[in-house]
Amino acid sequence: MAEIVKLGFAPLVDCAIPVAAAERGFAVAEGIDLVLERAPSWAALRDRLAFGLVDAAHILAPLALALHQGIAGVPATALQVPVSLGLGNNAITLSLDLYERMMAVAPEVMAGAPSLRARALRPIIDADRAAGKPLLSFVTVFHFSCHHYELLKWLADGGIDGRSEVNIGVIAPPRMVESLASGWIDGYCAGEPWNQRAMQRGVGQVVVTKADIRPDGLEKVLGLRTEWAEENPAQAAALVRAVVKAADWCGDPANRGELARLLAEARHVGLPADLIELTLKGAIPAPNRNRPDPADVEKLLAEMAAAGQLELPEAERAGLAAAVWRPDLYDEAMGC
């Protein structure tokens, strides 16, 4: 009888790999019954991991480190990352009103490199301050997320201090488009399909993508509760193999239409398949990028420290990285 493994995920296009592992038979072939549990927000997924309601998760890479370190707002939860799941697919989307203001005050900037378009916000921020208006409000999916660091970097490259000159909050990805449409926020950094959804509905404009800000930057990982993985090493290894084989299947362009239809189901992402298919390419890791890369975790820890989230001497970061990032578990499971 197949062993049940519970895996939490967020409704984003880059949940494609664990969804395929469960729905396309890769998990069953490895002797496990992979039960997917959809979480409405990253906070909800964090809680399910922290309190043992799931064994594993499709998770934000920085959140895995924050949970392990005990700085994510819940008790410290030892995690292991044996697989990288996604490399891109984030973007910054602005309200049409803010986008049009930027086009009006700095058309030459807006016609240039997307990575520098935040320079068009500088005169707007200065004018709003002089007029006594509230700060512009942006949101990301979670503070411990690459989205947060990418938004901060984009603003900084435009000469704006994201920690003092704008408001940056957190909203669950499925709520972002409505929040933008309602005027509650001026922009957001999120994964797909929520940027294209705003464009499709005519309520927002994508101004820059992750590829412009942080090319090939790691995004999501497979996080395992260390307690579960150590008690169930055979199942943990089977899960790694199922996920890696699912990644190969997802990476084949011939499967993209079928994958989009699978993700479009309400129990997964729950948006039109044609919209999802538009964004799938950036959600799948490049070949040979499923093995956790120590260089990725070094960059993440540096970004967490720069954002004021991690008070850990640089000399001690290697210990945290080695505890969480586990290419050895990948190698063992895959027979490398």
Residue 85 to residue 243: CA distance in whole angstroms:
9
Q: What pLDDT does 62 receive?
A: 97
For residue 163, what are the CA distances in angstroms to 149, 150, 156, 317, 334?
Answer: 11, 13, 10, 24, 43
Q: What pLDDT does 215 receive?
A: 83
Sequence-ordered list of residues with C-beta below 8 angstroms from that of 234, at least 6 positions apart, any chain: none
What percent of the residues of the chain are helix, what percent strand, and what percent coil, each to the nearest 5? 50, 20, 30
Spatial CA neighbour of 88 closest among 283, 251, 246: 283
Taken in order 90, 84, 6, 301, the sign of the CA dihedral is negative
pLDDT in tens, the chain (336 residues): 679 999 999 999 999 999 999 999 999 999 999 999 999 999 999 999 999 999 999 999 999 999 999 999 999 999 999 999 988 889 999 999 999 999 999 999 999 999 999 999 999 999 999 999 999 999 999 999 999 999 999 999 999 999 999 999 999 999 999 999 999 999 999 999 999 999 999 999 999 999 999 887 899 999 999 999 999 999 999 999 999 999 999 999 999 999 999 999 999 999 999 999 999 987 888 778 999 999 999 999 999 999 999 999 888 999 999 999 999 999 999 998
Domains of the chain: 3-87+218-334 (3.40.190.10), 90-213 (3.40.190.10)
Tell me the sheet residues that pair with 59: 221
Q: What pLDDT does 1 receive?
A: 65
Quick check: pTM over 0.85?
A: yes
The phi, psi pair for 209, rounded to 5°, reads -115, 165
Sequence-ordered list of residues with C-beta below 8 angstroms from that of 212, at least 6 positions apart, any chain: 113, 114, 115
